Amino acid sequence: MTNPSDLEQLAEIELQKEEEEDEEEQRAVPDGPSRTDPSHPYYDVARHGIIQVSGDDNYGRKLIVFSSCCLPPSHQLNHRRLLEYLKFTLDQYVEMDYILVYFHYGLRSSNKPSLGWLREAYGEFDRKYKKNLKTLYVVHPTNFIRIAWNIFKPLISHKFGKKLKYVNYLAELREHLNYDQLFIPADVLRHDEKLRAAQKGGPPPPVKTPPPRPPLPTQQFGVSLQYIREKNREAIIPPVIAQTVAYLKEKGLRTEGIFRRSVRVQTIKEVQKLYNQGKPVNFDLYHDVHVAAVILKTFLRELPEPLLTFRVYSQVLELLGVESSLRATRCKQIVESLPEHNFIVLKFLLCFLNMVSQESLSNKMSASNLACVFGVNLVWPRHGSISLSALTPINIFTEILVEHFAAVFGSRCPPAQVGL
What's residue 416's pLDDT? 42
- pLDDT for res 285: 96
Q: Within the chain, which residues score under 70 in pLDDT?
A: 1-37, 55, 58, 151-155, 200-212, 411-420
- Return the H-helix or E-strand segment holding 16: helix 4-21
Beta-carbon count within 10 A of 358 CB? 15
Residues 72, 33 contacting (CB under 8 angstroms): no
Among residues 98, 11, 82, the alpha carbon closest in space to that of 42 is found at 82
- Alpha-carbon distance of 243 to 233, in angstroms, equals 16
- pLDDT confidence of residue 212: 62
Please list the residues that pair with 138 across neighbouring strands: 102, 166
- Strands 62-67 and 51-56 come out as antiparallel
Considering the domain 4-26+40-198 in this protein, what is its CATH number?
3.40.525.10
Check residue 40 and give its pLDDT.
Answer: 80
Which DSSP symbol is given to 178? Answer: -
Stretch(es) of the chain classified as CATH 1.10.555.10: 225-410
- pLDDT at residue 20 in the model: 53
> What does the pLDDT read at residue 140?
92
Domain with CATH 3.40.525.10 in the chain: 4-26+40-198
Q: What's phi and psi for 111, nearest 5 deg?
A: -120, -5
| C-alpha closest to that of 119 among 152, 91, 158 | 152
Number of other CB atoms surrounding residue 155 within 10 Å: 11
| pLDDT of 277 | 94
101 DSSP assignment: E
Q: What is the number of other CB atoms lying within 10 angstroms of the CB of residue 96?
A: 20
- Which CATH number does the domain 225-410 belong to among 3.30.460.80, 1.10.3720.10, 1.10.555.10, 3.10.180.10? 1.10.555.10
